[in-house]
Structure 1
Amino acid sequence: MEDLQVKLLKKSKKAKLEKFGKTISFLAILLIVLVVIAIFYFVASKGLATFFVDKVNFFDFLFGKEWNPGTLGPDGKPMVGAFPMLAGSFIVTFLSALIATPFAIGAAVFMTEISPKIGTKVLQPVIELLVGIPSVVYGFIGLSVIVPAVRNVFGGSGFGILAGTFVLFVMILPTVTSMTVDALKAVPRHYREASLALGATRWQTIYKVVLRSAIPGILTAVVFGMARAFGEALAIQMVIGNAALLPHNLITPASTLTSVLTMGIGNTIMGTLENNVLWSLALLLLLMSLFFNILTRLIGKKGAMK
């Protein structure tokens, strides 16, 4: 009797394996959390040194229009205004998302509602191929094709916001399209059947039922594409001109947070003002990425509540 009781109370091999698996999963999640916290702490400690060690005014840094950390301005303060880079990043991000969204929705509607067979056999592999192309390839194509085209059509050097917008448009289009396709496929089939049963045409069903039901997913795709565009560095650096000037039009050289970071971070000495302000730009970039992620989750939760 006692032996039977001991056997019943003893943990089975499957129970031990389950406990071992839970422990490994917990340790993996803990490691990911610690790495994220460490990254935030490292970037924040370096970025905030501009304001607490070098005594740079936060508003002068955020809204200043002159960027030349190695020199002092007429008022004796360092010229570390990040507003031109912020403006350049936001302009190319919003313009590329504005152009990519209609194309992505149109392609997704064709792949899911009009011709699913062609969408699955032809367009889906093409989209996956475009997602896998390295950003440096997009940059070279932009440098060889888009910049000369902008120069010939609009004049100027060809480098600027417009060239960067076209490159980012092509880069984020596959991502937005694939996520939009998933959002349209997630709409229940009986929504379409009920609309058609009430006498709606196929286009009325697509516009008034399918697309409206998929709005949270489409918005999530657009925000995700904007997050990628905002954080893109190499491709945009090759076509935007890398001039730390406030953009007055779309065809003059400009710069973004990422382009200034990639050019300058390896040419400064750790602990100097020139290096600290670049870490401050990196902190702004990290905060904007966090903002896009939070916005994506909020949109997803709003869609799940409906």
Structure 2
Amino acid sequence: MDPIKEAMLHRSHSAKLERRGHLISLACISLIVVVVLAIFFFVASRGLATFFTNKINLFTFLTKSTWAPAVKDAHGIPQVGALPMIVGSFGVTFLSAVVATPFAVGAAIFMTEISPNLGKKILQPVIELLVGIPSVVYGFIGLSVIVPVIRTVFGGTGFGILAGTFVLFVMILPTVTSMTVDALKAVPRHYREASLALGGTRWQTISRVVLRAAMPGILTGIVFGMARAFGEALAVQMVIGNAALLPKDLISPASTLTSVLTSGIGNTVMGSLENNALWSLALLLLLMSLAFNLLIRWIGKKGEMK
């Protein structure tokens, strides 16, 4: 064979390295997919056992307000009602997001539009510091400061959804703020210049141009914060009261899906109804995480379409 033709047909060293890199990347991606599917399959198999093995009605599981898997009612049906934990989880999640969003957006506007230098030198390190604080520290602060203040102001024990809301508000604030800052920085500069050239004031430019253009990114940050709040366990467990009861108000002891899971999973026997019911709560958490991720992807696609 012609040496020149042979050299052209021969795969170069760079091409071999590139192919090897593609194979390694494909193997890593495949491993991640397998791990995710294995986790989902394991949790689903355990969680669905409550309904297929123990014959618990799904509607009863989602709507009943009594959580006592070891106790049966007059008809011999175990008291497996997850409604108190579902209400508690959604309550602290949505309330913390409602409280955190104005602070996060205001801080992000200050850091990007009003005083970028001060925001970069002072606020950004503070936000990064808040991200690195362990959950147990937030829980201890909530237990030592927030719970006594709520007890003094509103009465009662101080434990409840309101205490959990304040703790989660501080925990998700850095996440929402950081993603809002990124969304505002991604708005093209000529948007601002065009608004100012047309006679818009600084505040009109921020509120009617920059915020509207960055809205998909801001909504994504809010949903990310809600996803973290929904899955938080330790900090909420320390301040919410851990009472598997349907909360009457924001200052009565309540519980969340994660708080019941962390406090009860080690005290049950694998394969029993009590254990399967907890795995059903874990499956519900997993499905909610999937729902949050799908919502984030939907918001991102809507932003790309604009």
Shorter-chain TM-score tier: over 0.9
- Number of the residue aligned with 1:198: 198
2:130 is the counterpart of 1:126: no
1:127 maps to amino acid:
I
1:1-306 matches, cutoff 5 A = 2-306=2-306
| Secondary structure, counterpart of 2:79 in structure 1 | strand
Q: Distance in 1 between the 2:140 and 2:263 partners? A: 17
The CA distance in 1 between the partners of 2:292 and 2:188, in whole Å, is: 28
**Residues 101-148 of structure 1: CA deviation (Å, up to 9, x unaligned):** 000000000000000000111101110110111101100110011011
For the residue of structure 2 that corresponds to 1:48, the secondary structure is helix
Q: CA deviation at 1:3?
A: 2.2
SS in structure 1 of the partner of residue 271 of structure 2: coil
Structure 1 consecutive aligned stretches of length 4 or more whose deviation exceeds 6 Å: none
Amino acid at match of 2:150: V
- The percentage of aligned residue pairs carrying the same residue is 75
- How far apart in 1 are the matches of 2:218 and 2:73? 46
Aligned-pair Cα RMSD in Å? 0.6
Residues in 2 aligned to 1:104 and 1:147: alpha-carbon distance in whole angstroms: 24
Using the alignment, how far apart are the partners of 1:297 and 1:137 within structure 2?
A: 32
Structure 2 SS opposite 1:56? coil
Whole-angstrom CA distance in 2 between matches of 1:113 and 1:243? 45
Q: Which amino acid letter does the alignment assign opposite residue 243 of structure 2? A: A
How far apart, CA to CA, are the structure 2 residues paired with 1:65 and 1:75?
A: 17
> One-letter code of the match for 1:290?
L
Q: Deviations over 1:150-199 (max 9, x none)?
A: 10111000100000000000000010000000000011000000000000
2-structure distance, mates of 1:126, 1:9:
58
Bigger mean CA offset, 43-52 vs 72-81: 72-81
Residues of 1 paired with 2:73 and 2:175: CA distance?
43
Q: CA deviation at 1:70?
A: 0.6
> Which secondary structure state, in structure 1, belongs to the residue aligned with residue 68 of structure 2?
strand
| Aligned equivalents of 1:106, 1:74: Cα separation in 2 | 55
> Tell me, which stretches of 5 or more residues in structure 2 are unaligned?
none
TM-score, reference length from structure 2: 0.99
Partner of 1:195, secondary structure, is: helix
1:199-256 deviations in whole A, cap 9, x for unaligned? 0000000000000111111110101100000000000000000000001101110000
Q: Deviations over 1:42-77 (max 9, x none)?
A: 000000000000000000001111000111012321
Once the two structures are TM-superposed, the CA of residue 6 in structure 1 deviates from its matched residue by 1.4
User: Aligned partners of 1:75 and 1:132: how far apart in 2?
Assistant: 51
Separation (CA, whole Å) in 2 of partners of 1:103 and 1:176: 9
Residue 8 of structure 1, CA deviation: 1.5
Aligned pairs, how many? 306
- Distance across 1 between alignment mates of 2:301 and 2:224: 15
Amino acid at match of 2:303: G
Structure 2 CA distance, aligned partners of 1:27 and 1:118? 45
